[in-house]
Amino acid sequence: MSQDPDDPRFRTLFAELRRVDQQTAPPFSTLVNVGVGRAPKPPGRRPPLRVAAVISAPIVAAMLLILSKTGPLAPRQPATVPLFGWQSPTAGLLTPFGQELLSEAPRVGESLLQINTDSDK
């Protein structure tokens, strides 16, 4: 098997990349501590519990004050409709348009359209 003539050049380039990675990579112990959860927390990321309590206390106090002034909430009764007066929302669709025209049979010699000719006189 013959060796590639560029092989020594690639070896030096990869060695240089490995050296740069070793210089910029964090220590292994730091990565292990982060994985276990023992990493130092950066400051300013999460507010401490005291700050959250100070912020939420006035909001909770205001809500309690409003509830104490308005009294207990009474349960709402649903609107009742007498059963005999109930009509389905689609009841109007049961009577077709023009039902009054179709309720009687037409008479011979009469038109369904009444033309008022009295106004011409």
The pLDDT tens digits for 38-72 are: 656 666 666 678 888 889 999 999 988 888 777 66
Residue whose entry in the numeric block shows the structure tokens 């950066």: 42
**Best CA proximity match to 40, nearest among 50, 51, 49, 29:** 29
The mean of the pLDDT values for the chain is 77
The size of the chain, in residues, is 121
pLDDT over 80 at 75, yes or no: no
Which range of 26-30, 33-37, 105-109 scores highest in mean pLDDT? It is: 26-30
All structural domains of the chain with their residue ranges: 15-40
Q: What is the pTM of this model?
A: 0.26
The greatest distance separating any two alpha carbons of the chain, rounded to the nearest whole angstrom, comes to: 123
Query: In the chain, pLDDT over 90 holds for what percent of residues?
Result: 15
| pLDDT of the residue at 18 | 93
